[in-house]
Structure formats: structure tokens, C-alpha cells
Amino acid sequence: MDRPRIVLADDHRAFLDCTAKLLEAEDPVHDAVVTAAKRHLKAFPDGADAVQAAIHAADAERARGDKAASDAFWRDALLRAEKRDPREGERVFDQWGRILMGERRAVEVVKLYWERIDRARDDPVLYERMLGFLAQVQLYDEELRVYERALAK
């Protein structure tokens, strides 16, 4: 199988295409994806494709079975996305949340909601979204905590 050559390119799209091909390949080279993503993030920390580079690395780590490393890249992607645009932050949060829920890690999603609320305490949408999630997964004790915290504001 011909594998794409990993290079640190000024062309962000070429980088993303290369890592996407590696992730989709029959015999993925996850180490190369992670290495390329780290180099890309170091060279272009505020680049237009930094969020997607972190997500590619997160996917590669998860494919290798390293959930902790994957979660670290997801967290990085989320923080970069929130800094860039609230809607992009929501998209990344939802994407990561679906992965965590697929792994039956609802408590981790709750922790992420609390972290987001701590970063944006005055955003009522975060409280509403968290309450909806808690009702969906039937975590009523945690739902009560959200109401208490929102009322204490």
C-alpha cells in the first residue's frame, strides 16, 4: 500500500487530507498521524485547521486504544474551538460527547459540562444543554446540582 508522505506543510488542507487518508487506510499509521498533528499544532497553534488537526490526533490515539491520550487531544480541540468560535466549540463538544457516550462514559460528559460552565458561568445555554443531557441519561441528582448552582448565581 502506498502511504502518504507526512510532511509539515504550509498548506493546511494538504496536511488534513494526508492525515484523513491515513486514518481511513486499511493499515493506518496512527503514530504518523499523531506525530504530524503534534508538529502541525506546534507550527500553527492558531491556524485555521488546528482544531481539526487535534481531532485527527484524537481519532488516531483512540484507534490505537489510548483513550487518555485521545481525550487529551479532544480537550485541546475543544479549548481551541471555544476560543475561535462558540458554535465550533459546540460542534467539537457534541462530537466528543457522542464518542464518550458510545463508550458509556456519561459521567465524563457531565464533568465536561461542568468545566464548560466554569469557563462561561453566565451562559444560560450551557445550563440548559446540561439539564437536557442529564434528563436524557437520567442523572437526576446531578440535575438538581445544576439548578442549585444556577439559582446561586
**How many Cα atoms within 13 Å fall on the side-chain side of residue 42?**
7
Average pLDDT, the chain: 86
Q: Phi/psi of residue 11, each to 5°?
A: -85, 100
Residue 112 has pLDDT above 70, yes or no: yes
| Distance between CA atoms of residues 65 and 82, nearest Å | 27
Q: How confident is the model at residue 147 (pLDDT cuts 50, 70, 90)?
A: confident
- Packed helices 50-64 and 12-24: angle between N→C axes, nearest 10 degrees: 20
Distance of CA 127 to the CA centre of its chain: 20
Determine which of 16-25, 26-35, 38-47 has the lowest per-residue pLDDT on average.
16-25
What average pLDDT does this structure show over 43-65? 94
Determine which of 9-13, 14-18, 44-48, 63-67 has the lowest per-residue pLDDT on average.
9-13
pTM: 0.78
What amino acid is encoded at 52 in this protein?
Q
Residue 100 has pLDDT above 80, yes or no: yes
Confidence (pLDDT) at 143? 77
